[in-house]
Amino acid sequence: MGVIYTRVSRPRKEVIEAFRVLPTAIIADAMNRFNVMDSGIKPLYPGVKICGPALTVREMVGCNIMLHKAIQIAEKGDVIVVDVGGYVNRAVGGYIVSLAAKVKGVEGIVVDGAWRDLEDIRRERPLPIFARAVTPAGPHKGYGGDINITIQCGGVSVSPGDIIIGDEDGVVVVPKDEAEEVLKRARELLAKEREIIEKVKLGISTVEIYGFDEKLRALGVKVI
């Protein structure tokens, strides 16, 4: 049993592109360090960046039939996010699935589980894949699941249309209804960070920049 919703409300493209130029660390700070996926979910090869609306998939452990269907109905630029509950002993996909998603125009795939065919994927780089693990054990197709419902991935709630941003630091999720406010805060934080970097280059101590001496006194720390 399962359900497939084919209609997704996606954020405006200009909002998505504005997030694309921001690092995940800044976006995470703009959300008070929330909505950051588990640190075990990382790209399978370096030098990748993904940014796009979530197309969500919930699979039975060890199954990937819904992922195949999600690729079929995906729109160009979507990030497919797959919930298999963190199970890492059977891969959700591999090179063929990666290639099929690339041909469809998918931005990337994020899976709270495992992937395979790592050698081929690293050599040809068909698509950015963020996964928790790698295993040669392949998936079965014995159970139904759900597409475009609210799922969890890496301990974070993900709804269809939420903005998924991933880079070498990891993956963050921006709720679509909060996207413009988060974007505003992230831009402000980035500008402030650039000012701090310039001060550090001038030799100013980070303790002085952040006012940590006062904080240490408030904490009762004595300098002897």
| DSSP string across 29-42 | HHTTT-SB--TT-E
Confidence (pLDDT) at 104: 98
Confidence (pLDDT) at 1: 77
Whole-number Å distance between alpha carbons of 154 and 158: 10
Q: What Å distances lie between residue 74 and 36, 56, 149, CA to CA?
A: 24, 10, 14
Is 210 within a domain? no
Number of structural domains, the chain?
A: 1
Confidence (pLDDT) at 202: 98
Whole-number Å distance between alpha carbons of 42 and 154: 11
Whole-number Å distance between alpha carbons of 138 and 26: 36
Confidence (pLDDT) at 91: 98
Mean pLDDT, each 10-residue run in order, the chain (224 residues): 94 97 98 97 97 98 97 98 97 98 98 98 96 97 96 98 98 97 98 97 97 95 92
Where do we find the tokens 């980035």? 190
Confidence (pLDDT) at 132: 97
Q: What is the CATH number of the domain that holds 145?
A: 3.50.30.40
Is 201 within a domain? no
Is 222 within a domain? no
Is 13 within a domain? yes
Residue 22 near residue 186, CB atoms below 8 Å: yes
Is 199 within a domain? no
Is 69 within a domain? yes
Residue whose C-alpha is closest to residue 44's, from 6, 8, 92: 92
**Which range of residues forms the domain containing residue 83?**
3-175
Residue 108 near residue 129, CB atoms below 8 Å: yes
- pTM assigned to the model: 0.95
Is 205 within a domain? no
Confidence (pLDDT) at 96: 97
* Long-range contact pairs involving 203-212 (C-beta distance under 8 Å, separation at least 24): none
For residue 136, what are its two tokens? Answer: 């040669």
